[in-house]
Structure 1
Amino acid sequence: MTRLLQPMLAGVVTALVGFASSFTVVLAGLRAVGADQRQAASGLLALCLANGVVAIWLGLRQRLPITIAWSTPGAALLVSTGAVEGGFPAAVGAFVICGLLITAAGLFPALGRWIGAIPAPIAGAMLAGVLLNLCTAPVRALVEIPWMTAPVVLIWALLGRVARKWAIPGALLAAIVAIALTGPGLGAVDVRPVVEPTVPAWSLPAMVSIALPLFLVTMASQNVPGMAVLAGYGYRPPLRGILVGTGLASVFGAPLGGHAVNLAAITAALAAGPDADPDPGRRWIASVTAGGSMIVLGVGAGLATALVLLSPPLLIQAVAGLALVGALASAVAAAVAEPEGREAAAVTFVVTASGMTLLGVGAAFWGLVAGGLMTLLHRKRQAPGAIPDPDREAQLVRR
């Protein structure tokens, strides 16, 4: 029993950090695309259940520490996209299509290779544009509600220095204290678990604005880095089974409001690293425990939603923004890593961050289109006989 204690505790910590660090992003995203309080609470519960079931199944089947999470960048995408034609039912329909696309990527490897063919600067710039608005929320909150936001930001900064993985949970706890001291209390709020089915509706603008970008962001920002994290610890699970499992879980969770589940990227290291267990062959216990713990945390989805409802919206956005600062930094780094792709990445970032809507389709899609066109134009300029790029020539001289 004592040998089980270490990986089980690691699994509990993995679930707590994963839930507390980003559930506010999930709720903000669902509310942005039209979910009411009950639908948002139901969506959070559905995601917790889907995470838990898939993590337990894959962990027991593969005996590998495969941690599952919801798509945090995908939830941020929902915030930037906002309401679409057809309201929340259309968004749910887009969630279903996204889940089917993830499943197809597992069944048909060519689709996964097509996603991998998207230039890294373009993918990074699109994600950075999606995250920008949320990541500026702490600054806006400091100006508008400084007495509530300042302690949150201070605790986040201090814990980020001494105990990084607890920075966002600590900031969330500070926000809860601020809400309790200034809010109306939970007396009139129903905090029981909520199951609120929504019949999917099918809308072309929602498919283009939500389903396709959500699929791309989830694959590029969650599944691919998640596999890299596991490979870094010596694990190489079959990607096909992970994609099929998370894709089907996303499909079945969508009518309850869940947007997408995927391979964990950030919290994957908590279960796959040596802190979970010195023996690499026993770390799957941590991921299975994390799955079970996530199911338990899902029971508190109603309470989490109630806390969000009672707080100033900008405060919750601030906590969500703090949770995404690291993701924004990684996305920006990927966008500017290759000098020859920076111009196309800049165009992608500007269009995506603009939040514009054209023909009923959101900015993330148009950012990809604009960046792709700029990439093609850049390649034509670099064709034989074209005017050389001074920056590129300078690099070649230095080499």
Structure 2
Amino acid sequence: MPEVTLDSPARRNPTLQPVIAGLVTALVGYTSSFAVVLTGLQAVGASPSQAASGLLALTLTFAVVAIGLAWFTKRPITTAWSTPGAALLAGAGGMNFGWNEAVGAFLLTGVLIAATGAIPWLGRLVAAIPVHLAQAMLAGVLLQLCLAPFMALSTIPLYVTPVIVVWLLFLKLNPRWAVPVAMAVALGIAGFTLATSPGDSVHGVSLLPHLEFAIPAFTLRAFTGIALPLFVVTMASQNVPGVAVLKGFGYDVPWRSSMLATGIGTSVGALFGGHAINLAAISAALAAGDEAGPDRSRRWIAAVSSGGFYIILGLASAAITALAAASPAGLLEAAAGLALLATLGSAASSALAEPRTRLSALITFLVAASGLSIAGIGGAFWALVAGLTIGALLERGRRR
């Protein structure tokens, strides 16, 4: 982001600086994780065209929610799609869910998020889930996707090596832009393939932005294998940290209205393929910090402008999905893995930090990473069950 000096246009116009911060928030938030979202949606049965619809639905819903929350509260509340949730979907791909099943699970996830804001005891129940187990489950879910960049070195080395090299270079020069630039390189590689495809449709994806309505199907296995883990991961890894980030900058988040808004937005977006939206966590600091201007009372403008820029980026979702579909097999997953390495490290560190609860966290991590499936229910659910059981049997006495 450009430095603001005493004579800069942003200093002379106090509205310009939060608007620029909103632009940076949108660019970093979108480009650093769209590959994870596409990978997750396609893993649970979405066609490239349906995944493009889901990407657009997510962008539009969380952009509108961010604009509404920031405008009415006058606080820099930003929202985003659930990146850890998308990684969870990528791990659930081996369960062979149908797309309509997944859509039904997305809709139920939105209902659960909204209910957390509307029903106090449900919020307390979510808060009672041990943080180290939620983080361990997330780390286990992320592991396979984070291995993708290094596995791709043996299958598509000529394609993935430039992506990794650029990522490492920008980690040294400007870490904030490391993942976005790496994603741009991956899309550039895919562009060579796309440029040779005639017409306005490539790999079944229209290049024009579109929404595809999906009829939800409700099944028990999708509820336990997608909806419940997606709800837990979204709450523990996005909404709760999002509140903490804003509180660190001196802003209180209206919990009830935020959960109702993101829950309803998730349910609406689910009908068009979106998996979940939530309070932004990492990118929240871009709109709430000093980069959004010295006047804290005007930083809400950054959140509103980020929503507007997200809508513009969302209109490119179909074209981006077409580029991703045209990429060499494994390249998109490799780029997504690079985007999640920092999240994996943070989750694993948080999960294993406390020696007295390390065993339950480790068991949770391993079960989630194993791809275990029992009675048609995926590993993320059983990981939490295993962690809670080990904690109750072996660790409760130690805490006392």
Short-chain TM bin: over 0.9
- Which secondary structure state, in structure 2, belongs to the residue aligned with residue 202 of structure 1? coil
The answer (yes or no) to whether the contact 2:45–2:96 under 8 Å persists in 1 is no
Give the alignment of 1:133-144 within 5 angstroms. 133-144=144-155
State yes or no: 1:229 paired with 2:240. no
Spell out, residue by residue over 1:247-303, the C-alpha distance to the aligned partner (whole angstroms, 9 max, x if none): 000011101000000000010000000011111111100000001111111111101
Q: CA deviation at 1:124?
A: 1.1
Q: CA deviation at 1:380?
A: 5.5
Q: State the identity %.
A: 52
Q: CA deviation at 1:199?
A: 0.3
Runs of 4 or more consecutive aligned structure 1 residues displaced over 4 Å after TM superposition: 83-86
- Which secondary structure state, in structure 2, belongs to the residue aligned with residue 82 of structure 1? helix
- Which secondary structure state, in structure 2, belongs to the residue aligned with residue 95 of structure 1? helix
Equivalent residue, structure 2, for 1:261: 277
Spell out, residue by residue over 1:104-131, the C-alpha distance to the aligned partner (whole angstroms, 9 max, x if none): 0001122122112111221111000000
- Which secondary structure state, in structure 1, belongs to the residue aligned with residue 14 of structure 2? helix
Structure 2 residue identity aligned to 1:173: A
Structure 1 residue identity aligned to 2:294: P
Give the alignment of 1:176-255 within 5 angstroms. 176-181=187-192, 185-188=196-199, 189=202, 190-255=206-271
Q: Residue 72 of structure 1 is aligned with which of 77, 83, 88?
A: 83
Per the normalisation by structure 2, the TM-score is: 0.93
Equivalent residue, structure 1, for 2:5: none
Q: Residue 359 of structure 1 is aligned with which of 363, 375, 384?
A: 375
- Once residues 186 and 10 of structure 1 are traced to their aligned partners in structure 2, the CA distance between those partners, rounded to angstroms, is 37
* Pairwise CA RMSD: 1.5
Q: CA deviation at 1:84?
A: 4.7
Give the alignment of 1:245-324 within 5 angstroms. 245-324=261-340
The answer (yes or no) to whether the contact 2:63–2:306 under 8 Å persists in 1 is yes
Spell out, residue by residue over 1:57-80, the C-alpha distance to the aligned partner (whole angstroms, 9 max, x if none): 001100000010000000000000
Equivalent residue, structure 1, for 2:184: 173
Give the alignment of 1:320-339 within 5 angstroms. 320-339=336-355
Equivalent residue, structure 2, for 1:393: none
Give the alignment of 1:80-95 within 5 angstroms. 80-82=91-93, 84=95, 87-95=98-106
- Once residues 53 and 229 of structure 1 are traced to their aligned partners in structure 2, the CA distance between those partners, rounded to angstroms, is 21
In structure 2, the CA distance between the partners of 1:299 and 1:383, relative to structure 1 (3 Å rule), is: closer
- Once residues 274 and 23 of structure 1 are traced to their aligned partners in structure 2, the CA distance between those partners, rounded to angstroms, is 26
- Once residues 140 and 195 of structure 1 are traced to their aligned partners in structure 2, the CA distance between those partners, rounded to angstroms, is 34
Equivalent residue, structure 2, for 1:29: 40
Give the alignment of 1:103-182 within 5 angstroms. 103-181=114-192
- Once residues 236 and 174 of structure 1 are traced to their aligned partners in structure 2, the CA distance between those partners, rounded to angstroms, is 38
Structure 2 residue identity aligned to 1:3: P
Q: Residue 5 of structure 1 is aligned with which of 13, 16, 31?
A: 16
Structure 2 residue identity aligned to 1:135: C
Structure 2 residue identity aligned to 1:360: G
- Which secondary structure state, in structure 2, belongs to the residue aligned with residue 256 of structure 1? coil
Structure 2 residue identity aligned to 1:333: S
Spell out, residue by residue over 1:315-334, the C-alpha distance to the aligned partner (whole angstroms, 9 max, x if none): 10111011111100110011
Q: CA deviation at 1:5?
A: 1.3
- Once residues 134 and 94 of structure 1 are traced to their aligned partners in structure 2, the CA distance between those partners, rounded to angstroms, is 22
Unaligned runs of 5+ in 1: 385-399
**After the TM superposition, which of the residue ranges 214-223 and 2-11 deviates more from structure 2?**
2-11
Per the normalisation by structure 1, the TM-score is: 0.93
Q: CA deviation at 1:86?
A: 5.7
Q: CA deviation at 1:181?
A: 3.7
